[in-house]
């Protein structure tokens, strides 16, 4: 593992920052916030031109065959500008799931379209329980003549309104299964759900005896579960990288304000209490950055500790982003709450990201379960001598 970015990664970071500064200024983000879908096809096409939509996928599907660290570098810069659009849901969730579990024919049709920037997708997983655990899926799938039928609902499905197709997790004869559902399918209905983060869209999705052909089954059983979990881990790392970019931007905004805002004829940044706040923000930033790049590396190398590393990073960065948002608003005072100030938009993103792909409680439980499983495996291998 390298403790710094390679030349290639530094190039990606620099070009991403320059591109996003020019193509995705805050004025554009605020404009898209007011639209129904929060999505700009022209901006997405430029993301594809940069190669971001295929960065982690094999070249045979028109990807670039790079790794998660390179992906995290680009996503950190997206987080700095609150880049809107279905990148996490399309590329990291749907793309990873297809890459891990789909047939060659499905990959050629759907994954290739994602890599080219020609298709948008999402994973419909959450239900009324609100659990991100794939084992909690209850949406019913039944066999019918020549295929399957879906009945039930999904909640908080990111970017479903702009998806060309959805990957839907369902329960088929007791097994977890994943299906490809075209957005135009008869029996599919969706409605926008209010969200705290104004830069992202969440939807409720309902399936009313929706018919699917046999070839729309992606995977079932253990293969489906492993693919869904892999997609959630990859998307979590992408989200955390975005969070790191947001934390850095909040620190920059706060320091700039502290240098110009004066009290008692002195910039407030000259006061030790404000300096301490900014120093604490910097510590949280660097801790989050270290955690996410290790998690990205561990996922890329298929390390045994990868899932635990993802959960540790998600817990730390979630709390760090929220705390940095609190401190930014404290230092900026009343200005931090005003609509014209961008700070509150990052704070909204922090709160939304904290819940996405599992909150701190969910990931702490996953870390604990990982440790229990590891101890059990050691015990089974060594018997009483290991106690």
38 and 161 fall within a common domain: no
In a domain, 192, yes or no: yes
The pLDDT score that the predictor gives to residue 385 is 47
Domain boundary among 167, 192, 219: 219
The pLDDT score that the predictor gives to residue 386 is 46
Residue 336, CA distances (Å) to 122, 159, 271 in order: 33, 28, 19
Specify the 3-state DSSP secondary structure of 39. Answer: coil
What distance, in Å, lies between the first and last C-alpha atoms of the chain? 32
Instruction: Count the Cβ atoms, other than its own, within 10 Å of residue 226.
Output: 15
112 and 189 fall within a common domain: no
In a domain, 102, yes or no: yes
Here the CATH number for the domain that contains residue 138 is 2.40.110.10
The pLDDT score that the predictor gives to residue 262 is 86
192 and 213 fall within a common domain: yes
The pLDDT score that the predictor gives to residue 170 is 98
The pLDDT score that the predictor gives to residue 3 is 66
CB 74 within 8 A of CB 52: yes
Here the CATH number for the domain that contains residue 232 is 1.20.140.10
The pLDDT score that the predictor gives to residue 387 is 43
| Residue 345 C-alpha from the chain's centroid | 17
Here the CATH number for the domain that contains residue 55 is 1.10.540.10
The pLDDT score that the predictor gives to residue 214 is 96
Between 373 and 302, the more confident residue is 302
The pLDDT score that the predictor gives to residue 335 is 84
CA-based torsion, 68, 62, 52, 89: positive or negative: negative
Does 183 have pLDDT greater than 60?
Answer: yes
Average of per-residue pLDDT values in the chain: 94
Domain boundary among 219, 239, 265: 219
Whole-angstrom distance, CA of residue 224 vs CA of residue 135: 11
Does 374 have pLDDT greater than 90?
Answer: no
DSSP category for residue 11: H
146 and 32 fall within a common domain: no
Per-residue pLDDT tens for 150-160? 999 999 999 99
Averaged pLDDT for residues 173-178:
96
- The domain containing residue 178 runs over which residues? 122-219
Whole-angstrom distance, CA of residue 260 vs CA of residue 71: 35
Residues contacting 84, CB < 8 A, separation 6+:
29, 32, 33, 38, 39, 40, 199, 200
Per-residue pLDDT tens for 240-285? 999 999 999 999 999 999 999 988 889 999 999 999 999 999 999 9
In a domain, 382, yes or no: no
Q: Which residues share a beta bridge with 152?
A: 207
Q: What percent of the chain has pLDDT over 70?
A: 98
Instruction: Count the Cβ atoms, other than its own, within 10 Å of residue 240.
Output: 31
The pLDDT score that the predictor gives to residue 146 is 86
Q: What percent of the chain has pLDDT over 90?
A: 89
* Structural tokens at position 316: 């730390």
248 and 200 fall within a common domain: no
166 and 265 fall within a common domain: no
237 and 328 fall within a common domain: yes
166 and 86 fall within a common domain: no
The pLDDT score that the predictor gives to residue 237 is 98
In a domain, 366, yes or no: yes
281 and 348 fall within a common domain: yes
Does 49 have pLDDT greater than 80?
Answer: yes
68 and 173 fall within a common domain: no
Does 12 have pLDDT greater than 90?
Answer: yes
45 and 146 fall within a common domain: no
Counted domains in the chain: 3
Does 215 have pLDDT greater than 50?
Answer: yes
Does 379 have pLDDT greater than 80?
Answer: no
Res. 383 pLDDT band, cuts 50 70 90:
low
Residue 114, CA distances (Å) to 46, 88, 185, 250 in order: 14, 12, 19, 32
In a domain, 384, yes or no: no
The pLDDT score that the predictor gives to residue 348 is 96
Dihedrals phi, psi of 58, to nearest 5 degrees:
-60, 150
Instruction: Count the Cβ atoms, other than its own, within 10 Å of residue 189.
Output: 12
Nearest to 124, CA basis, from 173, 184, 187, 190: 190
DSSP category for residue 199: T
268 and 208 fall within a common domain: no
The pLDDT score that the predictor gives to residue 276 is 96
Domain boundary among 195, 219, 243: 219
Residues contacting 282, CB < 8 A, separation 6+:
251
In a domain, 387, yes or no: no
- Whose structure tokens read 């298709």? 119
């Amino acid at each position: 593992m390298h403790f710094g970015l390679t030349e290639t990664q530094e190039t990606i970071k620099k070009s991403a920052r320059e591109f996003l500064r020019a193509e995705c200024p805050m004025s554009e983000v605020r404009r898209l916030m007011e639209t129904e879908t929060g999505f700009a096809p022209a901006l997405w096409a430029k993301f594809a031109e940069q190669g971001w939509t295929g960065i982690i996928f094999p070249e045979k599907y028109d990807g670039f065959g790079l790794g998660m660290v390179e992906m995290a570098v680009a996503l950190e810069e997206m987080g700095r500008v609150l880049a809107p659009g279905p990148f996490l849901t399309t590329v990291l969730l749907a793309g990873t799931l297809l890459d891990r579990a789909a047939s060659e024919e499905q990959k050629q049709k759907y994954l290739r379209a994602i890599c080219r920037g020609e298709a948008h997708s999402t994973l419909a997983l959450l239900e009324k329980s609100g659990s991100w655990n794939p084992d909690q899926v209850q949406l019913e799938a039944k066999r019918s003549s020549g295929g399957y039928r879906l009945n039930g609902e999904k909640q908080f499905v990111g970017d479903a309104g702009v998806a060309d197709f959805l990957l839907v997790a369902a329960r088929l004869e007791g097994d977890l299964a994943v299906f490809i559902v075209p957005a135009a399918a008869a029996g599919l209905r969706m409605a926008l759900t209010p969200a705290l983060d104004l830069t992202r869209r969440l939807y409720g999705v309902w399936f009313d005896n929706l018919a699917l052909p046999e070839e729309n089954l992606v995977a079932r059983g253990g293969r489906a579960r492993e693919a869904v979990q892999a997609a959630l881990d990859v998307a979590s790392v992408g989200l955390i990288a975005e969070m790191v970019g947001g934390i850095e931007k909040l620190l920059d905004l706060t320091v700039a304000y502290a240098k110009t805002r004066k009290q008692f004829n002195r910039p407030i940044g000259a006061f030790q209490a404000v300096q301490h706040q900014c120093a604490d923000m910097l510590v949280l930033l660097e801790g989050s950055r270290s955690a996410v790049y290790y998690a990205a590396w561990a996922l890329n190398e298929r390390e045994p500790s990868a899932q635990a590393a993802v959960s540790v990073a998600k817990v730390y960065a979630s709390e760090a982003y929220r705390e940095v948002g609190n401190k930014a608003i404290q230092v900026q005072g009343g200005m931090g709450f005003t609509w014209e100030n961008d700070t509150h938009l990052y704070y909204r993103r922090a709160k939304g990201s904290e819940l996405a792909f599992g909150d701190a409680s969910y990931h702490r439980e996953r870390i604990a379960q990982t440790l229990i499983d590891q101890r059990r495996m050691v015990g089974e291998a060594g018997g009483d001598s290991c106690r």
